[in-house]
Homo-oligomer: A and B are copies of this chain.
């Protein structure tokens, strides 16, 4: 199996230095392997909509973070990697509980890296609340 090219510590440092909004999210890293990342997040008070659901942009931010981790697990520290396109489907009304995002890469190209991510309530596999596909553009000089 190809090596995991980033540690959790390095990932958190990249966020602190380059994406404060990501660093501010209260997440645990459950898995970090080459091309795969699993993050767990408890929705905070600011994320919750009346009725006890989680706002769409919060799910988007979590999905983006998980794919970003998967990208760096495969290509290493590339703080300047940027999302070029993202498609998210909101599938079920998320409850304001703990969410798990599982990301894996579909393509690991020289310039473009594509990943998909599924977000579920913790402990409820198979009934995703959101699914996203995202492309990251990786700078050539690395």
| Interface residue? A55 (CB, 8 A) | yes
Interface positions, chain A 71-111, Cβ under 8 Å from B, are 82-93, 106-107, 111
| Interface residue? A50 (CB, 8 A) | yes
By a CB distance below 8 angstroms, the chain B residues around A19 are: 49, 55
Contact of A84 with B112 in the complex, beta carbons under 8 Å: yes
Interface residues on A, range: 35 or more
Given the contacts A85-B89, A90-B84, A107-B91, A56 and B46 also touching, CB distance less than 8 Å: no
Which of B47, B48, B57, B91 is close to A106, meaning CB atoms less than 8 Å apart?
B91
Complex Cα spacing A55 to B19, Å = 7
Complex Cα spacing A82 to B76, Å = 27
Q: Which 10 A-B pairs have the closest CB atoms?
A: A57-B61, A91-B107, A87-B87, A21-B55, A85-B89, A60-B60, A56-B83, A85-B85, A86-B88, A106-B131
List the interface of chain A (C-beta within 8 A of B): 17-22, 24, 46-51, 55-58, 60-61, 64, 82-93, 106-107, 111-112, 114, 116, 118, 128, 131, 133, 135, 137
Q: How many Å from the CB of A19 to the closest CB on chain B? A: 6
Contact of A131 with B133 in the complex, beta carbons under 8 Å: yes
